[in-house]
């Protein structure tokens, strides 16, 4: 099975003066899972976006089964036999499940200018049944389903017509364990049918486990293509970063006692439909982890603690007796929160890095009876913390929208470090972030912990919970279902058993 | 390493290119103002220069009211009810002025603030898009103005004419703009407004009371225009059914001519108000002096407006118009 399916030849793509993909050439075979790895901004998504017609090609060619293809949009790409499951939400709200599945291919159901909705729904239902997603109904609006189910619909949409190549771009990080298993199952099926999968992920163990061949990109340049059985995680890291990745990744200490000093008490907190009667204490200098399936309510915990939940009951109390019921109060008492939805809830996208960092600290930075701000002072403050967290940027006037995911996260962290927050709630802090930045974030968390700050870390990545937390609380169906203490022998299975 | 170097160089080049674009956007309105001013002076044989007082007398109300709308648009909202606010507040000023003039000023401000509060309530609490709400209130209060002026225009106190001096009007405008400028540029007020325009949800998560801020801005914009009603009344003396008509369009055109991106956000600049209002008035009076008919005037203004919107629209953040 080493027949060539796709030849990538001298491919180039620039955005302005940024060369996103430079003269990349390699081959992808039939019947394989071909992983594409590299740090953020290495050109993986740019390359697959050109293949699926989302971006235009500057120069170079894709040759699919001996035929040059130039798709101008996703529908044309589908017609050539190429489909994609994107990183973020790829289904359209306001349409039914069936309409989403057959988007761009409605003509199959049109007779004399009239669409036969029944036939469309029937076929979509049959497909959903075949995939084992019976609980999703073709005639329902897609909006009725959660993120996870919408991803499943996308899997159907991208694979039902037996495409020759399916691109799966960073989809697994958005899925819970269950959803991942579903995805893996269908990856296996596609592969066994002799078709090809281009698999993009930051999760190296997953890459090694699920792919046959791995191509590494760095700064838009092709580095190497290797068989996954010939390489290990450290080897991959070295190829991606271009040097040996030294130093520790997670925390290495064990057996440090947790302080008795309680800094935050959560009592009987409920948010209708999301969490029920949750109570826990956060201790000084502790990293408290929250794990579970993505629908377990754990993401709402962060919002509830920060006073950002709608219609929350119960109390969140600081050590000095202050009750946290809204965001401004939370921030005033040095509580910080970074959302899983980074682009909407963490960074103000269309504003400068400087303003983003200074935003919660403006009171501290103003002076005089009129509370005036000076540009110089703001700039110095922003520069100081951007440097401390090593945000990769030209200067602090740059807009956040131009930064990569990892750097956006760093801007948010710089903001809260600058605010001198003592209690930090991090929801999925490393989602979609490459190894180097991940390492930076873990080190920052460890430093904060040593400085006596307390951290709540909510994550779907079980390994990082095990690696970083003093205590891990597992959630299931909106309730706490178990608690585990830091232990070098803890493995993922002990967590999963409490999750499902 | 060489690769790294070229990368930083090209990044810098890109940034330079971007800042050149930003520079162009920034100076284009100012250059436009100078060019249009010189052009009309040449075309009218200096008549514009000699009747500068007359030209400027039209700018005060627009400029003051534009500041409130500028704050609203910075947050990504819109306000079409400004003309009706000016009209109704002017009627109130006229009526109260017969008793007491300082009280009349206060009553005008209160009227404006009250209408602003109605806008704010439906926009923030009832979650209706701002342009829908303000178009509704525009019609509603225009109706009330028409009702109040059915029999005759509402006239103010005869004493009001004493206040109609360029010095007073200029002083009021300068003081209000100066306060606005300091607040917008040198306090957290400005950064908060821009943050709401650039990403409301994230602004909320950074601790800004976004709902309260949005509500207060409509009240403030109403109050400011309520004050402008006083300046309006001392100039015109009485209010007819069309009092304050089309002020909202004038403001919108003025701000856009001044280089303001219509979606607000971090790229707005305070001088948009001043340059824009002046440019609008110069253009308007220049064309009138040239003998262009009112109908023609609207057509020309429409074309200019469209061109400026096309140039200054920040397409990346257009979806945030609320």
Nearest-angstrom CA–CA distance, A233 and A251:
18
Cβ-Cβ pairs closer than 8 A, A with B, add up to 104
List of chain A residues with pLDDT < 70: 1-2, 16-18, 88, 243-248
Q: Would the pLDDT of B227 be above 90?
A: yes
Asked whether residue B273 is assigned to any structural domain, the reply reads yes
- Domain of residue B141, CATH code: 1.10.3470
Number of domains in chain B: 1
% chain B with pLDDT above 70? 90
Which chain A residues are Cβ-neighbours of B314 within 8 angstroms?
A: 350
Domain span holding position B146: 29-42+50-312
State whether A349 and B202 contact (CB < 8 Å). yes
Q: Per CATH, the architecture of A247-334+422-500 is what?
A: 3-Layer(aba) Sandwich (3.40)
Side-chain-side CA neighbours of residue A460 (13 Å): 20
**Shortest CA gap B83–chain A (Å):** 31
**Shortest CA gap A258–chain B (Å):** 30
Domain covering A4-81+163-241 in this structure, CATH number? 3.40.50.300
Angle, CA A301 vertex, CA A299 and CA A302 arms, to 5°: 75
Angle, CA A321 vertex, CA B204 and CA A449 arms, to 5°: 70
CB A23 within 8 A of CB A420: no
Nearest-angstrom CA–CA distance, A117 and A297:
36
Cβ neighbours of B101 (radius 10 Å):
19
Asked whether residue B3 is assigned to any structural domain, the reply reads no
Q: Would the pLDDT of B168 be above 60?
A: yes
Cβ neighbours of B141 (radius 10 Å):
22
| Bridge partners, A37 (sequence order) | A216
What are φ and ψ of residue A291, in 5° steps?
A: -130, 165
pLDDT tens-place string over residues B296-313 = 888 888 888 888 778 766
Among all residues of chain B, which has the CA nearest to that of A309? B205
Residue B270 confidence (pLDDT): 94
Asked whether residue B245 is assigned to any structural domain, the reply reads yes
The pair of structure tokens assigned to B272 is: 């948009």
CB B120 within 8 A of CB B214: yes
Among all residues of chain A, which has the CA nearest to that of B264? A350
Task: Give domain limits for chain A.
Answer: 4-81+163-241, 247-334+422-500, 347-419
pLDDT tens-place string over residues A41-87 = 788 888 998 999 888 898 999 999 989 998 888 888 988 999 998 87
DSSP H or E segment with residue B221: helix B210-236
Which chain B residues are Cβ-neighbours of A218 within 8 angstroms?
A: none
ipTM value: 0.83
Nearest-angstrom CA–CA distance, B222 and B216:
10
Nearest-angstrom CA–CA distance, A250 and A71:
43
Selection from A145, A177, A165, A181 nearest residue A64 by Cα: A165
Give pTM, 2 decimals. 0.78
Instruction: Check if A4-81+163-241 and A247-334+422-500 are the same fold.
Output: yes
pLDDT tens-place string over residues A314-347 = 999 999 999 999 999 999 999 999 999 888 899 9
**Shortest CA gap A449–chain B (Å):** 23
Cβ neighbors of A376 (< 8 A, separation 6 or more) are none
Q: Would the pLDDT of B7 be above 50?
A: no
Q: Would the pLDDT of B162 be above 90?
A: no
């Amino acid at each position: 099975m080493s027949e060539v399916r796709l030849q990538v030849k001298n491919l180039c793509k620039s955005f302005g003066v940024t060369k996103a993909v430079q003269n990349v050439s390699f081959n992808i075979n039939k019947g394989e899972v071909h992983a594409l790895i590299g740090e953020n901004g290495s050109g993986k998504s740019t390359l697959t976006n050109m293949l699926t017609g989302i971006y235009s090609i500057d120069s170079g060619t894709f040759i699919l089964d001996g035929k040059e293809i130039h798709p101008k949009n996703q529908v044309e790409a589908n017609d050539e036999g190429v489909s994609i499951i994107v990183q973020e939400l790829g289904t359209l709200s306001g349409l039914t499940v069936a309409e989403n599945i057959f988007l761009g291919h409605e003509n199959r159901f049109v007779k004399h200018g009239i669409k036969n909705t029944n036939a469309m729904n029937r076929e979509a239902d049959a497909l959903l049944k075949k995939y084992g997603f019976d609980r999703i109904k073709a005639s329902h609006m897609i909006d009725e389903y959660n993120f996870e189910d919408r991803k499943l619909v996308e899997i159907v949409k991208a694979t039902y017509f037996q495409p020759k190549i399916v691109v799966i771009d960073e989809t697994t990080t958005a899925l819970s364990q269950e959803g991942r298993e579903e995805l893996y199952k269908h990856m296996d099926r596609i592969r066994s049918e002799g078709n090809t999968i281009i698999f993009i992920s930051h999760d190296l163990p997953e890459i090694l486990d699920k792919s046959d061949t791995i191509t590494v990109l760095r700064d838009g340049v092709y580095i190497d293509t290797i068989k996954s059985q010939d390489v290990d995680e450290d080897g991959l890291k070295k190829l991606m970063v271009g040097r040996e990745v030294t130093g520790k990744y997670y925390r290495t200490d064990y057996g440090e006692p947790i302080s008795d000093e309680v800094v935050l008490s959560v009592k009987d907190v409920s948010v209708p439909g999301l969490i029920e009667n949750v109570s826990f204490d956060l201790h000084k200098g502790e990293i408290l982890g929250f794990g579970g399936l993505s629908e377990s309510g754990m993401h709402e915990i962060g919002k509830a603690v920060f006073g950002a939940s709608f219609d929350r009951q119960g109390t969140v109390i600081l050590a000095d007796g202050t009750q946290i019921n809204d965001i401004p109060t939370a921030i005033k008492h040095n509580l910080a929160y970074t959302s899983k939805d980074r682009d909407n809830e963490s960074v103000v996208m269309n504003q400068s890095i400087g303003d983003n960092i200074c935003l919660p600290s403006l009171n501290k930075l103003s002076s005089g009876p009129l509370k005036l701000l000076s540009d110089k002072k703001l700039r110095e403050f922003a520069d100081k913390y951007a440097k401390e967290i090593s945000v990769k940027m030209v200067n602090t006037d740059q807009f956040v929208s131009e930064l990569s995911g990892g750097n956006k996260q760093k801007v948010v962290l710089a903001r809260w470090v600058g605010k001198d927050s003592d209690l930090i709630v991090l929801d999925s802090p490393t989602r979609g972030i490459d190894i180097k930045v991940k390492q930076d974030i873990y080190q920052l968390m460890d430093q904060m912990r040593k400085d006596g700050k307390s951290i709540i870390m909510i994550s779907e990545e079980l390994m990082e919970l095990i690696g970083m937390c003093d205590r891990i609380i597992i959630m299931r169906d909106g309730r706490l279902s178990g608690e585990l203490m830091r232990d070098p022998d803890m493995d993922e299975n002990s967590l999963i058993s409490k999750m499902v | 390493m060489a690769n790294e170097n070229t990368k930083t160089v090209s990044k810098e080049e890109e940034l330079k290119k971007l800042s050149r674009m930003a520079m162009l956007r920034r100076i284009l309105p100012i250059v436009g103002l100078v060019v249009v001013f010189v052009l009309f002076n040449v075309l009218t044989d200096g008549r514009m220069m000699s009747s500068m007082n007359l030209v400027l007398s039209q700018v005060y109300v627009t400029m003051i009211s534009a500041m409130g709308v500028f704050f609203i648009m910075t947050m990504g909202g819109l306000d079409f009810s400004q003309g009706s606010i000016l009209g109704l507040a002017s009627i109130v000023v006229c009526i109260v002025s017969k008793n007491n003039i300082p009280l009349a000023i206060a009553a005008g401000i209160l009227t404006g603030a009250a209408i602003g509060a109605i806008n704010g309530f439906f926009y923030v609490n009832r979650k209706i898009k701002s342009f829908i709400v303000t178009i509704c209130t525009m019609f509603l209060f225009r109706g009330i103005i028409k009702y109040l002026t059915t029999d005759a225009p509402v006239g103010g106190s005869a004493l009001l004419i004493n206040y109609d001096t360029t010095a007073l009007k200029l002083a009021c405008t300068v003081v209000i703009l100066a306060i606005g400028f300091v607040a917008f540029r040198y306090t957290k007020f400005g950064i908060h407004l821009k943050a709401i325009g650039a990403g409301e949800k994230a602004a909320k998560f950074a601790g800004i009371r976004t709902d309260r801020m949005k509500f207060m801005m409509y009240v403030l914009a109403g109050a400011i225009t309520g004050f402008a009603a006083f300046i309006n009344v001392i100039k015109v003396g009485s209010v007819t059914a069309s009092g304050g008509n089309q002020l909202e369009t004038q403001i919108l055109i003025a701000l856009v001519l001044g280089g303001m991106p219509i979606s607000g956000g971090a790229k707005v600049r305070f001088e948009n108000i001043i340059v824009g209002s002046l440019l609008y008035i110069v253009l308007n009076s220049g064309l009138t002096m040239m003998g262009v008919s009112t109908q023609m005037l609207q057509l020309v203004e429409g074309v200019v407006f469209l061109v400026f919107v096309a140039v200054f629209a920040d397409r990346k953040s257009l979806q945030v118009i609320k």
